[in-house]
Amino acid sequence: RVPLSGAFQLNFSIKIENFQGGPVITISREPGSGGSEISRRLSKALKLDLIGGQIIQHVADSAKMSRKVIQSLDEREVTFRETLLSSLFGENRPWPGEYLQHLTKVVGTIGAFGNVIMVGRGASYVLPRQRTFKVRIVAPIELRIRHFMDDRGYTKAEAEQYIVKTENNRRAFVRKYFNADLTDPAHYDMVINTERITMEGATEAIIVAFSQRRNRLHPSFQHLEKKEESIA
């Protein structure tokens, strides 16, 4: 197993789909659905690295730009007009094609070495299907609004505004960079609605489905069998 820090010291000439790295699980989540908590539980149970916001810093390093600039592009659509205006005013912001190139490089490198759970950032669209287990976490908007009100102290209006804005940004991001519909269930191996299932139950369900699909995926998934048996 190669540490993630070491992965970025290598020349990115790896054929990702042919690289015999460890398993990869990607998590796409609706804001407030519990996807982040489920990801943390999966990481602990399966002993896989958890990567989410750290991708921003790796992309910034790859593009030789500040984290703040890259963060402004994270999981949202940046229009041609925004990029043009930024360049006219001397801001060093990558064009959409450049950003996608660096994002693909970073996500692809992490995915090639595997043993990781990746949250958001288009990872499920970058990585090859045959060696990636793709999960989507959803919940009714009323439940998600309540979560933000309880967890962050938002008013109902603030919570709804945050959810709608975040969802729109994520959908636009996937549509722009991958020409895909983020909400299409056919893209995922598993979709879980957390309205009537606990975080623990959702985590266990993913582990079971992941185990059953393992033998149909890349051979690298097979080494997790002993870990899953110990969990059971």
pLDDT in tens, 18-68: 555 688 999 999 999 999 999 999 999 999 999 876 665 655 565 555 444
Q: Which residue has the higher pLDDT, 81 or 110?
A: 110
Between CA 46 and CA 213 the distance in angstroms is 15
**What's the pLDDT at 203?**
98
Residue 216 has a pLDDT of 64
Q: Tell me what pLDDT residue 1 has.
A: 45
Sign of the four-CA dihedral 176, 180, 185, 190? negative
Q: Is pLDDT above 60 for 12?
A: no
pLDDT at 128: 87
pLDDT of residue 215: 63
Report how far residue 71's alpha carbon sits from residue 137's, in angstroms, rounded to the nearest whole number: 23
The stretch 199-224 carries a mean pLDDT of 78
| DSSP-assigned beta bridge partners for residue 24 | 116, 132
Nearest to 43 by CA among 117, 94, 109: 117
Q: How far apart are CA 103 and CA 154, in angstroms?
A: 32
Average pLDDT over residues 204-216: 85
- Identity at 127, one-letter amino acid code: L
pTM over 0.85: no
Residue type, 146: R
The domains of the chain, with CATH numbers, are 22-217 (3.40.50.300)
Check if the beta carbon of residue 105 is closer than 8 Å to that of residue 7: no
Pair 93, 64: CB distance under 8 Å = no
Distance CA 145, CA 163 (A): 8
What is the per-residue pLDDT for 110? Answer: 84
pLDDT tens column, 55-80: 656 555 655 554 444 444 444 444 44
Beta carbons of 17 and 128 less than 8 angstroms apart: yes
pLDDT in the model for residue 79: 45
For 149, residues 6+ apart whose C-beta sits below 8 A from its C-beta are 155, 156, 159
Contact 28, 182 (CB under 8 A): yes
Q: Which amino acid is at 151?
A: D
**Tokens at residue 69, please?**
């600039």
| DSSP, res 31 | T
